[in-house]
């Protein structure tokens, strides 16, 4: 049997990130063949990763790319099990790689993304790169979702501390000079912060889903009846209480976080007058780490 030097073990460890003992065992099994030892470790890594795949990954990072020139934004959620791992250099590099791939290749789905060649090692797919990192770090990881959003107007983003929460807004104006105003930049940044802080579910009342509206009406109806309100006026009471519901879930109805005496709709109207332009909110996006896992777990119950 070939002699396994400490230097060879260290080289394999530096390349793969596996533990010293695992590297030595792999080299012994491969009879000192460095490339074969990598294959051994990869096979073991796949087995190790498979064991970890059932563990909940609700921590992680939201990757973001905003391209003002090209007029699009990318958000992607990359999960792991602990906040400690989410802050490691290896994990952050993975997130950067994934963001760059989505920007460059514009995949149509998570499945398509995972089949792309990894940027750090083109011999591996993104899925295999993920598996390799799972084996190295020892935590389950995943990429549950991403969004490529093409803007109608001007994009602004807000990244909360640690990139656990990211929001993007798309604000439309008609005059080029409006875009150059520092007050306009402040406004769209404030709106991105609004989305992060107030967590709207819909842009406007027209966007509220039929299911969400029906559920809220039923809640308010039961509440009114429990309060002893007469049956014949309950429906009117329910309609009256929907205003508060809309002000919580619809971005345009929400009170502005910097001045709760005005709604976002009123704020846009005021700024339209100030700028001599017509401003409108085309869309917003909001990603928070762990939302996907929480939704999947709730659906499984």
pLDDT in tens, 33-70: 888 888 887 776 644 555 555 566 689 999 999 987 77
Instruction: Please tell me the predicted confidence (pLDDT) of residue 89.
Output: 93
pTM: 0.79
Last residue of a domain, one of 118, 150, 182: 150
Which CATH number do you get for residue 138? Answer: 3.30.479.20
Do 24 and 140 lie in a common domain?
no
Residues of the chain short of pLDDT 50, as ranges, are 46-47
Do 106 and 157 lie in a common domain?
no
Instruction: Please tell me the predicted confidence (pLDDT) of residue 144.
Output: 95
Judge whether 226 lies within some domain: no
Instruction: Please tell me the predicted confidence (pLDDT) of residue 47.
Output: 46
Do 131 and 187 lie in a common domain?
no
Instruction: Please tell me the predicted confidence (pLDDT) of residue 230.
Output: 87
Instruction: Please tell me the predicted confidence (pLDDT) of residue 35.
Output: 83
Do 19 and 96 lie in a common domain?
no
Last residue of a domain, one of 150, 172, 200: 150
Do 195 and 93 lie in a common domain?
no
Judge whether 222 lies within some domain: no
Give the closest residue to 152 by CA, choosing from 166, 173, 168, 167.
173
Rounded to an integer, what distance in angstroms lies between the CA atom of residue 287 and that of residue 61?
A: 10
Residue 140: partners with Cβ closer than 8 Å, 6 or more residues away: 49, 52, 53, 54, 55, 56, 57, 80, 81, 134
Judge whether 294 lies within some domain: yes
Judge whether 161 lies within some domain: yes
Rounded to an integer, what distance in angstroms lies between the CA atom of residue 203 and that of residue 212?
A: 14
Do 185 and 274 lie in a common domain?
yes
Residue 176: partners with Cβ closer than 8 Å, 6 or more residues away: none
Judge whether 240 lies within some domain: no
Judge whether 35 lies within some domain: yes
Judge whether 160 lies within some domain: yes
Do 198 and 292 lie in a common domain?
yes
Instruction: Please tell me the predicted confidence (pLDDT) of residue 299.
Output: 59
Give the closest residue to 160 by CA, choosing from 287, 292, 260.
287
Instruction: Please tell me the predicted confidence (pLDDT) of residue 187.
Output: 98
Do 135 and 95 lie in a common domain?
yes
Instruction: Please tell me the predicted confidence (pLDDT) of residue 267.
Output: 98
Do 23 and 39 lie in a common domain?
yes
For residue 28, the enclosing domain spans: 6-52
Phi-psi region of 55 (alpha: psi -120 to 50; beta: other; left: phi over 0): beta
Rounded to an integer, what distance in angstroms lies between the CA atom of residue 114 and that of residue 246?
A: 38
Q: Any idea which residue has 């906040």 for tokens?
A: 83
Counting the structural domains of the chain, the total is 3
Do 173 and 286 lie in a common domain?
yes
Mean pLDDT of the chain: 89
3-state SS string for 155-223: EEEEECHHHCEEEEEEEECCCHHHHCCHHHHHHHHHHHHHHHHHCCCECCHHHCCHHHHHHHHHHHHHH
Judge whether 27 lies within some domain: yes
The phi and psi torsions of 65 (rounded to 5 degrees) equal -140, 125
Which CATH number do you get for residue 14? Answer: 1.10.8.10
Instruction: Please tell me the predicted confidence (pLDDT) of residue 25.
Output: 87
Do 136 and 260 lie in a common domain?
no
Do 165 and 198 lie in a common domain?
yes
């Amino acid at each position: 049997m070939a002699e396994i030097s400490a230097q060879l073990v260290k080289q394999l460890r530096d390349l793969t990130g596996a533990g010293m003992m695992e590297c030595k065992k792999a080299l012994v099994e491969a009879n000192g063949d460095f490339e074969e030892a990598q294959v051994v470790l990869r096979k073991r890594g796949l087995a190790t990763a498979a064991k970890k795949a059932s563990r909940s990954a609700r921590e992680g990072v939201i990757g973001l790319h905003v391209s003002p020139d090209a007029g699009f934004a990318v958000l992607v959620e990359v999960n792991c099990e602990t906040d400690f791992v989410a802050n490691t250099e290896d994990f952050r590099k993975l997130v950067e790689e994934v963001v760059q791939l989505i920007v460059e290749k514009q995949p149509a789905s998570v499945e398509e993304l995972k089949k792309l060649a990894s940027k750090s090692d083109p011999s591996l797919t993104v899925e295999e790169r993920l598996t390799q990192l799972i084996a190295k770090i020892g935590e389950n990881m995943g990429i549950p979702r991403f969004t490529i959003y093409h803007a109608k107007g001007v994009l602004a983003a807000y990244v909360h501390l640690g990139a656990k929460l990211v929001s993007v807004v798309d604000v439309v104006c008609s005059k080029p000079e409006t875009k150059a105003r520092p007050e306009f930049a402040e406004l769209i940044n404030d709106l991105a912060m609004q989305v992060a802080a107030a967590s709207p579910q819909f842009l406007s009342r027209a966007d509220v889903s039929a299911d969400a509206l029906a559920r809220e009406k039923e809640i308010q109806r039961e509440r009114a009846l429990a309060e002893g309100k007469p049956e014949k006026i309950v429906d009117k009471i329910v309609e009256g209480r929907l205003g508060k519901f809309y002000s919580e879930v619809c971005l345009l109805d929400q009170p502005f976080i910097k001045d709760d005496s005005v709604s976002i709709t009123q704020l846009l109207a005021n700024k339209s007058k100030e700028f001599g332009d017509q401003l409108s909110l085309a869309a917003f996006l909001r990603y928070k780490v762990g939302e996907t896992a929480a939704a999947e777990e709730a659906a499984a119950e």
